[in-house]
Structure 1
Amino acid sequence: MPTTVQLYVYDLSNGLARQLSRQLTGRQIDGIWHTSIVAYGKEIFYGQGISITRPGQSHHGKPLQILDVGETAIDEDTFDEYLNEMRQHYTADKYHLLDFNCNSFTNDCVGFLTGNSIPSWIKDLPSDFLSTPFGTALRPTIDAMFRRPAAGDPAPPIPQATAAAAAASPNPALASSLLQASASTSTTTAPIHMCTNPPSFHNVLKTHRAVVAFFTSQTCGPCRMIEPAFERLAHQKTQAAGVGGGGGVAFVKVDLGAGMGNAVAAEYGVRVTPTFIFFRDGSKTSEMKGVNAPELESQVNVLLWETYPPHPHTQKSLPALDLVSTDPILFTQVPDLDTVSNKLLSFIDATTNSALPASSNIKQTLATVLIPALKARFPSASSKSKPGPSPSSAVLTQWADVTRSLATTLPAAQLFPLVDLWRLAVLDAAVSAFCAAAAGSGAGDPMQTLLVKGLATLGEPAGRSYVLTLLRLLANAFAAPALARGLVSGVGKRKGVTALLVASLLHADAPVRTAAASLAFNIAAYVQKERLEAVRNRYGPFATSEEDGDWEVEVVSAVLEALRNETQSEDIIHRLTACLAFFLRFSPVHDSHVGPLLDVLQAKDTLKAKLAKGGCGEEGVKSVALRKLITQVADNLC
């Protein structure tokens, strides 16, 4: 009689991964998964060796999910024999947080019992995690924690490595505290798959387009020589791929002495170790025997290149676009801070709103704390003073509180001097780091406070100065990658920034349109930098979410409409054309979303019209460099 096989899934972060992963890594990760296999009335899992308990009675408590993974016709005695054989391979000293863990074990068991595999969202989590800056920086810490040192080796410098990993996170303070709290319990799945039976191996072939299989054995000396090179490539290429199951890259170890590994080897005619076999779309493409690390890397690169050709636009010649710097456009002018302060104080004095009961305290904070701090950090051009220290966190916290109070009281027409102070301040690294951390915590975020105020004033003539200054502030945020990441990658704030941008690109006021075009350029340049890095260093499909695709369509549509309407300023046209090019060049949704849109909106004609009479001024665009850029973008990307 068939026996039901279940997978118990636990989230070792207890929900923290879902809540905080974007703040830590810039990506959404829904859990830190631990799994166990349940069959024949018992729960089996791997950690300190292979452990068996009654279902739901392990130290992990109640499972988050219980998944049916199939039925097995294998009897319990045969499965027990399999487990006994596996105990010599799944030992406590071999456990590794990323490379050989509980999920490696359950995947093998599910393959042996049912011919299926555990879900890809569990099995391939490291490819997503390790491709983030935080994951990449954390890798040495994890390796150090689980490396078995040789006699006499010094203890690995885990705290220092952990500090470096925290610094790579969008929210360093949060990352540091969580790393200290969870380093001993977190677990993720491995970029190297361990297969001990044919069904498990066949499932890897079925769920990954490119597979590199390493046939090895415990007694093979040459295998131990080539193994570090294989592991290095596995970590490097799965991180570069940035994709999970259902179309990713898999590196597999098959130990001929483990479980039914010899049956896998026999199926592919493997008689000696080490042997490497390369598969594309489930079919064998080539084979390599022996110890030759350079040849192994070459074969892997060929396999991945053929499986995932680079973005088609890498073949396009765009010399005019290549000359456009991707450095952000910044508004760095230092205003007369006394004048700005006096204007803001006069607005506070003029208000009769009871929502400012402590207006004297606010005025005192502005006059005696905030303005002096900014004067010291940003001396005027006429001053011979050198820039002073950055504002302290205490000062910035006071300032954020003042900003929140004033934003709920003063109309936008009176609030723009405060925005201008922030516009200058975020050019300082400490201030931008404070704002990025505030955005990550979800409380006291001055950027969000000012953005919400700006969205509420769209379309109001009196809010023109506020919107103009806010656009410049948001453009200056791109001087700091952590702050820029929150505007582009944080979906919630991105919606607000996009709404402000789309409306401002069509504003009647030329300075507002210029600031909006500058912000659009900075967003597109930031996006292209990430995409260019992906094209250079990764293999795998250029996957993106439906939400990201819709967002790109919205921005590109707005930029094209703004280009169509702009007939006065070459600066605006230049920034918008470069922005459009940056989005189109390596767009992951070019074929599915953006390409059809370009046809419908007649993007090529819109660009070429700027070169003709009346397209920009009476004679069209005059700048030779801009004419070349427009022509190349229209002909090659539209």
Structure 2
Amino acid sequence: MAEKVTLFVYDLSQGMARSMSLGLMGRQVGKKPVLNGALTHAIYHTSVIVFGREFYYGQGIMSAIPGATMHGQPMERIDMGETEIPQEVFMEFMDNMRETYTADAYHLLDNNCNNFTNDVCQFLVGQPIPNHITSLPADFLNTPFGQSMRPMIEGMFGPSRHTPSPSAFGSSIAPSSSPSAQATALTGAVARAGAGVPPTTGSVSFMTDLAQLQNTIRANPATVVYFTSATCPPCRVIMPIFDEIVVSKGSKIKGVKVDVGMAQAIGRAYEIRSTPTFMFFLRGEKFSQFSGADQAELRSSIDLLIYSAHPAHPHALLSLSQYKGLSGTPILFPSLVSADAVFAKLKTLLPTTDKALSETEIKQLDKIHAWIKKRDAAKTNKTAEPTLGELGATWKPLLGKITGLLPYESQFPLIDIIRMLVLQNRVAEVYAKDGNLTLINLFNAVADSANDSHDDSSAAKRPTALMTLRLACNAFSSPLLGTYVLSSAARTSTKQLLVTTLLSPVVQQRQTAASLAFDIGVKIAESRSKAMDTVTPSLSGGPLEDLEEDWIVECLSAIAAAIEKEEEEEIIHRLVASVANFIFMDESYSGAVLMSILGLPETLATKIETKLVRTANIVGLCREVQEMVRTAAAEHENNQK
């Protein structure tokens, strides 16, 4: 099936290029671009929309929901045609492109977003993007304004390969050796936007007004101000690190970036003589400062400022050797006893009516079978694994069709196959961006089946529920898919799957549900402690969205109830570990307070006294969780007084 390809065109100058063109470039701008005429009404940024995602280049190759990038809504949408190239092949092409279009390789004039989209469109539809977009850098440099701004741009991105044409300056307007503040502001803003550096990133703001900066410093208990300049190469190196550190600290600190070339009044007020300079403020008063692109000093200075502004979390004062010794790796189910047996079983369950699979579809199913066997062999022999393209062009629609052909209790071999497939990163990425909500529907089916009071075939349904739980655990093998199953789109279904199965009468199902609880806890703890990937969020899964308090309460309530009833020590171990991950260093204290109200410390004491928990390290973890609950609940109570 052909896929539509669209080019989104943005104006990085946000209209400034049109209004300033005559004064800056010495030429009157028309309403539309003039091909090959060096006239433009915008400074173009482009992206490609295909397979339901928007692909663009800045801090490396990135992707987003169409229209949801930092650039807002496009000024123009250009239909580039349709492509017959399968999504799997395109994603492999993207992998190869990442070697060329890295964050470090970005250059505003020589290697930019438009070069990227031009390559992508030629690959997908065999034609380039419009020439007036790709020729803009050369046209820009063939103006007096372009030549006056060239040193600033090359200071940020390195030398450009473009050279002005001999007749570029035949007009009476000569290149300016001293660009105006307005021109510098425009160029700096365009450079940052083109490179994918937003003016505001969570808790990081870009400011040019002195009064606004002073008000911000007074309003926040901890503020760090990063003084930079467009012609400072070390500033470009440290800027993404600054963003990453500040954003990772959440609400504990406010970060501000000031370009002293654009905000000269601020530079004078704070006596900035070199860039980069970092200035730290505690409750409105200057706390410390240093100059230079020293990443270690930046991190330690921010940590010291935060420690001074915010009391240490009570968990930071506890000795938690058992908790800190827990694996931070999710529990997965990567083995398949026999691929031959699973696929043979699936074929016996398929209906034999006219709605069954065609000969072509059977061949596609066999190709999936061969792919899984080849990957297993590659893991055993430590050879190259098969690519996503080798699965065939219709693997996913086929699996979706089979789901519709089978009754719920007969879907277990199919889900077992999907469980193995999602262990491959590219397959996981396909399901993470799945408009058909495949995983959500499978998760919901378990809860719907369990709640069906008119159905007495619960034993027949257990294999399907078990395989769905294993599939849910394997989703956490991929950062992107793990983030997806806890996203606002899927988290309710994930919670329902967990809550429905934690109290199952089947030990194996309860153990797998406890593994899912552990994996969710690992993801939550990781998002709380690990710096957000600000360079390639589309690959890492990006930051975990804030989880609603009601969602946390329902999950923890179900886990606490399961611990109270559970008699298998290993299952108790996984559940207690999941509670620890849910509540450790949680600044809201809500999870710990809930566990205190539900009597979890007393429940764990009973488990230890009755010898249901007797292994030394598990006993130790239970005692540590008791302390985590008690200290956090006590701190919360003190804060309420």
Query: Aligned partners of 2:293 and 2:341: how far apart in 1?
Result: 71
Alignment correspondent of 1:457: 449
> Which deviations, in whole Å up to 9, do the C-alpha atoms of 1:165-208 show, x marking residues without a partner?
xxxxxxxxxxxxxxxxx985977316787766542332432554
2 CA distance for matches of 1:15 and 1:314?
50
Query: 1:514 is aligned with what amino acid?
Result: Q
Verify: 1:440 aligned to 2:440, yes or no.
no
* Conserved? CA contact 1:279–1:286, under 8 Å: yes
Contact 2:260 2:266 in 1 (8 A): yes
In structure 2, C-alpha distance between the alignment counterparts of 1:33 and 1:152, rounded to whole Å: 17
One of 410, 413, 417 as aligned partner of 2:409: 413
Q: How big is each residue's C-alpha offset from its partner over 1:412-462, in whole Å with a ceiling of 9 and x where there is no partner?
A: 2111011112223333x3xx412322431524x653453344343234613
Choose the corresponding residue for 2:617, options 613, 625, 637: 625
Q: State the partner residue of 1:492.
A: 489
Q: Find the counterpart in structure 2 of residue 333 from structure 1.
A: 335
Counterpart-to-counterpart distance in 2, 1:434 and 1:245: 35
Measure how far apart 1:296 and its partner are.
Answer: 7.4
Which residue of 1 is the match for residue 145 of structure 2?
A: none
Q: Does 1:502 align with 2:535?
A: no
Residue deviations 1:535-594, cap 9 Å, x none?
9x9xxxxx9976443322222222111111112x111111111111111113243x2x22
How far residue 627 of structure 1 moved from its aligned partner, in angstroms, is 0.9
Counterpart position of 1:635: 627
- Shift of the alpha carbon at 1:483? 2.4
Report if the CA contact (8 A) 1:439-1:448 is conserved.
no
Q: Which digits, 9 at most, give the CA deviation of each residue in 1:215-259, with x for residues without a partner? A: 8999xxxxx9xx66677665433321217899622244556x966
- How far the C-alpha of 1:318 sits from its partner, in A, is 0.7
Where do 1:187-202 residues align within 5 Å?
A: 188-189=198-199, 198-202=210-214
List alignment gaps of at least 5 residues for structure 2: 1-5, 31-39, 44-57, 60-69, 73-97, 113-151, 162-191, 453-457, 535-542, 631-641
The question of 1:513 aligning with 2:510 is answered yes
How far apart are the structure 2 equivalents of 1:295 and 1:185?
Answer: 24
2:369 to 345, 368, 371: 371
CA 1:601/1:361 → structure 2, altered by over 3 Å: closer, same or farther? same
Contact 1:505-1:517 within 8 A present in 2 as well? yes
Separation in 1, partners of 2:475, 2:295: 44
Would you say 1:587 and 2:592 are equivalent positions?
no
Taking the aligned partners of 2:515 and 2:609, their CA distance within structure 1 comes to: 24
Q: Distance in 1 between matches of 2:518 and 2:23?
A: 50
The residue aligned with 1:111 is none
Change (3 A) 1:605 1:35: farther
Q: Is the 8 A contact 1:377 1:387 kept in 2?
A: no
Cα 1:360–1:286, aligned 2, differ >3 Å: closer, same or farther? closer
Distance across 2 between alignment mates of 1:579 and 1:138: 37
Which residue in the other structure is 1:575 paired with? 574
| AA at the equivalent of 2:104 | P
Per-residue Cα deviation, 1:315-337 (whole angstroms, up to 9, x for no partner): 32111112221222222332223
Which residues of structure 1 form unaligned runs of 5+?
1-13, 18-30, 62-96, 99-120, 124-133, 157-181, 219-223, 538-542, 614-618
Equivalences for residues 40-79 of structure 1 within 5 A: none
1:248-263 maps to which residues of 2 (within 5 A)?
Answer: 248-252=254-258, 254=260, 260-261=265-266
Q: Which amino acid aligns with 1:487?
A: V
Note the C-alpha offset of 1:142.
4.9
Aligned-partner residue type, residue 631 of structure 1: R
Secondary structure of the residue aligned to 1:442 is coil
Taking structure 1 as reference, are residues 380 and 291 closer, same or farther at Cα in structure 2, changes over 3 Å only? closer
1:311 deviation in Å? 4.2
- Aligned with residue 140 of structure 1, among 104, 108, 129: 104
**Cα separation, 2, equivalents of 1:548 and 1:363:** 44
Q: SS at 1:492's partner residue?
A: coil
**Number of matched residues?**
478
Alignment counterpart, residue 593 of structure 2, candidates 589, 592, 596: 596
Change (3 A) 1:359 1:632: same
TM-score by length of 2: 0.61
CA distance in 1, matches of 2:237, 2:350: 61
Task: Show the counterpart of 1:116.
Answer: none
Given that 2:356 and 2:405 are in contact with CA atoms closer than 8 Å, whether structure 1 keeps it comes out as no
Amino acid at match of 1:604: P
Aligned AA for 1:450?
Answer: L
Q: Quick one: distance in 1 between partners of 2:314 and 2:24?
A: 48
Return closer, same or farther for 1:209/1:15 CA change in 2, 3 Å cut-off: farther
Q: In terms of mean alpha carbon deviation, does 331-340 or 452-461 score higher?
A: 452-461
Secondary structure, counterpart of 1:279 in structure 2: strand
Q: 1:622 to 1:372 in 2, by over 3 A?
A: same
Q: Decide whether the 8 Å contact of 2:252 with 2:306 is kept in 1.
A: no
The yes-or-no answer on 1:205 pairing with 2:211 is no
Give a deviation string over 1:106-138, Cα, whole Å, max 9, x none.
xxxxxxxxxxxxxxx999xxxxxxxxxx9xx97
| Equivalent residues of 2:332, 2:474 under 8 A apart | yes
State the partner residue of 2:468.
470
Instruction: Quickly say closer, same or farther: Cα 1:285–1:468, change in 2 above 3 A.
Output: same
Write the letter of the residue equivalent to 2:305: L
Tell me: CA distance 1:466–1:321, structure 2 relative to 1, closer, same or farther (3 Å). Answer: same
Are 2:281 and 2:288, in contact at CA under 8 Å, matched by a contact in 1?
A: yes
State the partner residue of 1:318: 320
Counterpart secondary structure, 2:222: strand
Structure 1 counterpart of 2:94 = none
Structure 1 residue corresponding to 2:386, chosen from 366, 387, 390: 390
Aligned equivalent of 2:563: 563
SS at match of 1:149: helix
Q: Distance in 1 between matches of 2:451 and 2:605?
A: 31
Task: Determine the C-alpha separation between the residues in 2 that align with 1:630 and 1:45.
Answer: 68
Q: 1: distance between equivalents of 2:430 and 2:22?
A: 37
Distance in 2 between residues matched to 1:50 and 1:187, nearest whole Å: 29
Q: Secondary structure at the match of 1:249?
A: strand
Q: Which amino acid aligns with 2:472?
A: L
Greater mean deviation of Cα atoms: 576-585 or 140-149: 140-149
**Alignment map for 1:28-427 (pairs within 5 Å):** 139-142=103-106, 148-149=153-154, 188-189=198-199, 198-206=210-218, 208-212=220-224, 235-242=240-247, 248-252=254-258, 254=260, 260-261=265-266, 265=269, 278-286=280-288, 297=298, 302-308=304-310, 311-349=313-351, 356-358=355-357, 361-366=360-365, 368-379=366-377, 389-390=385-386, 392-393=388-389, 395=391, 397-427=393-423
Structure 2 distance, partners of 1:46, 1:551, is: 56
Indicate how the Cα distance of structure 1 residues 319 and 629 shifts in structure 2: closer, same or farther if over 3 A, else same. Answer: same
Residue aligned with 1:284, SS:
strand
What is the CA–CA distance in structure 1 between the aligned matches of 2:378 and 2:358, rounded to whole Å? Answer: 28
User: Structure 1 residues 397 and 629, CA, compared in 2 at 3 Å: closer, same or farther?
Assistant: farther
Q: Distance in 2 between matches of 1:337 and 1:419?
A: 13
Equivalent-residue separation in structure 2 for 1:151 and 1:287 (angstroms):
24
| SS of aligned partner of 2:343 | helix
Q: Name the CA shift for 1:587/1:346 in 2 (closer, same or farther; >3 Å).
A: same
Counterpart Cα distance in 2 of 1:199 and 1:50: 34
Amino acid at match of 1:470: T
Q: Aligned residues: percent identity?
A: 24
User: Is the 8 Å Cα contact of residues 213 and 277 (structure 1) preserved in structure 2?
Assistant: yes
**Offset, 1:518:** 0.9
Give the Cα separation in 2 of the matches to 1:404 and 1:47.
59
